[in-house]
Structure 1
Amino acid sequence: MSTLIFGIIASAAAVFSILFSAWQIRQLTRQTVITNGIAAASAIYNSVERLHNVGTLIFQHPQLNQYFFHGAAVPESGDEREQVLTLAHMFADALDYGLMIKSLAPGTSEYDCWDYYVAGMFATSPAIRQVVLDHPSWWPTLTPHLSEPPPPGTMPRV
């Protein structure tokens, strides 16, 4: 009789243990989904923040706007050429980072807007195209986008 009682208690404990483990797994799954969502939001924020930093520099020097959003060729020489190329490097860094995050961070793969924005920037900025073509290994995630035609309606807003 004691063996039967012990068996029932052991079976109940095993069932309880399995149910408790299932509950823990469910909670862990919920926590992982929340954590991934927060990480994705943070990664996207960091990408946009990088673009805002470059945009701030262009805002402070509005004469440079034409080289990034209106298709003006890179100046042949002088201080303005150096400013344009430096900003183009910074822009390429920000674009490459955004594309990299989109491909790596869970929950960011649906942000096709990065692909469209990159295509638009390549379409309107010979300076960005030039620095990426000059140093393709510096921006491994961005470089493959050089050969893609811009999707219709993807020109960046000014």
Structure 2
Amino acid sequence: MTIGLLAWQTRAAAKQAEVANAFAGATVLHNQTTSLREVYRVFIDHPELRPYFYGRKPCPRNQRQRDRVMTIAEMLADTLEDGLVAHHLVPASESESDWINYCRHVRANSPALEEWVQRHPGWWPKLSAL
């Protein structure tokens, strides 16, 4: 009887851990898409800014416009770094490689983001290492 109860408890604990891992993975994905949506809202309100991040458009020379682009670059870098850390810590998200590929894509297509990350590699160590 005692061995049977112990076996049942072990299976129940394993199932509970499996459910907790799946929930953690879903939470990581939800948090990242929510954070990314905040950046996308800027592009919806100001579509002229999107090419600086996805179209390889060089950073503007006009200081006011440059400040705006660099602020978005910082927001995006924070979001990308958070995602890299979260996906690494929670393998149950099962999308770490997808997120890494997305981060590489954005870095390759955004001179503004690339400049900001290279200027401050310690602020975004995982993003900088890609």
Normalised to the residue count of structure 1, the TM-score between the two structures is: 0.79
Distance 1:59 1:133 in 2: 27
Identity percentage of aligned residues: 33
Aligned with 2:125: secondary structure? coil
| Mean CA deviation greater in 92-101 or 75-84 | 75-84
| 1:112 corresponds to 2:130 | no
Distance 2:82 2:69 in 1: 20
Flag as ranges the 4+ runs of structure 1 deviating above 2 A.
Answer: 108-111
Uncovered stretches (5+) of structure 2, i.e. residues with no partner:
none
Normalised to the residue count of structure 2, the TM-score between the two structures is: 0.95
Shift of 1:110: 4.3
2:68 corresponding residue in structure 1: 83
Uncovered stretches (5+) of structure 1, i.e. residues with no partner:
1-15, 146-158
Q: Compare relative contact order (CA 8 Å, sep 6+) and give the higher one, 1 or 2.
A: 2
Question: In the TM superposition, what whole-angstrom CA distance separates every residue of 1:20-47 from its partner, at most 9, and x where no partner exists?
Answer: 0110010010011001101110111101
Q: Which has the larger radius of gyration?
A: 1
Shift of 1:59: 1.2
- More helix by percentage: 2
From 100, 107, 111, the equivalent of 1:126 is 111
Task: Tell me the C-alpha RMSD between the 2 structures.
Answer: 1.1
Partners of 1:103 and 1:109 within 8 A in 2: no
| 1:45 corresponds to 2:40 | no
